[in-house]
């Protein structure tokens, strides 16, 4: 197993490569493998279709908790951030959170 690294693009961070958890289900992918949708701009953090497999514990999950890159590397793209090259492996997908007096919430991108 390679050394664990982090890859950050805006409010999304990938941590890995890690061993693939056993309880994950593959999520369907339409045009792009979207890790996270922007709540404010409508932009998204995504890989091209076929370059990444989105994974989550629930089969009908709206967002993935892990992503698997099967090729040597895949490009994580976003309309307002630089593209990031992510090597093969399984990664945990972490969304940045922020504190407010009302609640701890995800950062709006």
Mean pLDDT calculated for residue range 8-32: 93
pLDDT bucket at 6, cuts 50 / 70 / 90: very high
pLDDT bucket at 92, cuts 50 / 70 / 90: very high
Maximum CA pair distance of the chain?
A: 44
Question: For residue 3, how far is the Cα from the chain centroid?
Answer: 19
What tokens does 73 get?
């590397």
Q: Which domain holds residue 16?
A: 5-106
Domain count within the chain:
1
Overall pTM surpassing 0.95 (yes/no): no
Q: What value does the mean pLDDT of the chain take?
A: 87
Q: What is the pLDDT of residues 73-86, one digit of tens each?
A: 999 999 888 999 99
Q: How far apart are CA 77 and CA 67, in angstroms?
A: 14
């Amino acid at each position: 197993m390679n050394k664990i690294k982090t890859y950050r693009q805006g409010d999304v961070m990938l941590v890995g490569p890690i061993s693939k958890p056993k309880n994950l289900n593959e999520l369907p992918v339409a045009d792009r493998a979207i890790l996270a949708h922007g709540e404010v701009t409508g932009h998204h953090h995504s890989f091209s279709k076929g370059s990444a497999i989105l994974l989550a514990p629930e089969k009908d999950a709206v967002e993935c908790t892990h992503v698997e890159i099967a090729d040597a590397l895949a490009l994580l793209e976003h309309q307002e951030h630089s593209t990031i090259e992510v090597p093969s492996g399984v990664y945990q997908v972490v969304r940045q959170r922020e504190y407010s007096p009302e609640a701890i919430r995800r950062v709006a991108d």
